[in-house]
Structure 1
Amino acid sequence: MQKSSSTPLPLLDVHLPDAPSWLPLAWGWWAVGSGIVLIVLISALRLRWKRKKLAPKKAALRLLDPSFGSQSPSSAMELVRQAAFCYFPRNEIAHLTGKDWYAFLDEQIGRNVFMVNEAQWQQALYKKQTSEQASALVDNCYQWVNEALPPAKRRKEKGGKH
């Protein structure tokens, strides 16, 4: 037998394929990215809407705050009325005065706070109150703004309907 000569064939080196690229992204990554952007956008818009909705309440609380300065009961009640106009329909509360106004305020917080002090409130409009009485009346206004505003989405109307 003859010995075959084994001469190496002139072969090229083995070339590995390129590593897979991140681009173009698969549709799933686009969906995840779009979902994240949508969630961030909705959250930002909701936060902006909530800040805008609560701005009148925060301003009224800041002005009624005892550490900010001493308010007279009549000016505190005026602030309460202005804050109420920001959240309630004008035709619902613009005509309210005296007992009707105090009843409306008590109805919104679910406690009898203003009707009990009706005589003091009426005197506060025309007479100078002692500092203790005045601060108690202003505190009632502060509590009302803090608890009643913004009103609940579904309030019972006079007819019992929602």
Structure 2
Amino acid sequence: MTENQNESLLPLSSLHLPEVPSWFPLAWGWWACFFAVVAAVFIVYFIVRWKIKRLAPKKTALKMLANTKEPSSAIELLRQAALCYYPREDMAALTGKPWYVFLDRQIGKTLFERNQERWQQALYTREPVEQAHELVEDCIYWVENALPPRKGGARRG
């Protein structure tokens, strides 16, 4: 009986499991994620590079103004920094009161127009100017708050 029972069992082979699925080729969703990440990295890189390049004249002007004690040198650095951001045609025509009005309009304060006489004395005479450090600090304030210019006009400081 035991022999008969063993004969009645079908000769089955052992179980064969399927192969483990491989990672490659990737499904289209993984490729889409990969390209989205690469595109995001490139976009961030170019935005950061653009911003660094755009702020370079401002940073250079601030470094140079930090080492300047003469108002005449400070206002010249201010003009050079402004030329990096504003159209040369507009900037070249500005001297005297229109120049100071332009500077004040960009920051929304009257730092330059109210000190116009002191600025003129600093630029055109060899005599030392009273409180020259305040004039240089006004230039530093202007560069910090007016550059780079925003679209749509003057800023409020």
**Could you state the TM-score of these two structures normalised by the residue count of structure 1?**
0.86
Aligned residue number for residue 32 of structure 1: 33
**1:89 maps to 2:90:** no
Look up the equivalent residue of 1:154 and give its one-letter code.
Answer: G
Aligned residue number for residue 136 of structure 2: 138
1:52-93 deviation digits (Å, cap 9, x = unpaired): 00000000011112xxx3421000000000000000001111
SS in 2 for 1:23: coil
Aligned residue number for residue 129 of structure 1: 128
Cα distance in 1 for residues equivalent to 2:17 and 2:5: 31
Cα distance in 2 for residues equivalent to 1:136 and 1:51: 29
1:104-159 deviation digits (Å, cap 9, x = unpaired): 100111111101100000000123325x6111000000000000000012227xxx
Cα distance in 1 for residues equivalent to 2:110 and 2:146: 13
- Structure 1 segments, 4+ long, off by >2 Å, are 3-12, 127-130
Aligned residue number for residue 103 of structure 1: 101
SS in 2 for 1:20: coil
Cα gap change, 1:70/1:155 in structure 2, threshold over 3 Å: closer, same or farther? closer
Aligned residue number for residue 160 of structure 1: none
CA contact (8 A) 2:107 2:146 kept: yes
Aligned residues: 150
SS in 1 for 2:104: helix
State, as a whole percentage, how many aligned pairs show the same letter.
53
SS in 2 for 1:140: helix
Cα distance in 2 for residues equivalent to 1:135 and 1:94: 26
CA contact (8 A) 2:106 2:146 kept: yes
- Counterpart mapping for 1:1-150 below 5 A: 4=4, 6-7=6-7, 9-65=10-66, 69-125=67-123, 126-130=125-129, 133-150=131-148
**Could you state the TM-score of these two structures normalised by the residue count of structure 2?**
0.89
Look up the equivalent residue of 1:136 and give its one-letter code.
Answer: E
Measured on the aligned residues, the alpha-carbon RMSD in Å equals: 1.7
Q: Which structure 2 segments of 5+ residues have no match?
A: none
Cα distance in 2 for residues equivalent to 1:41 and 1:6: 70
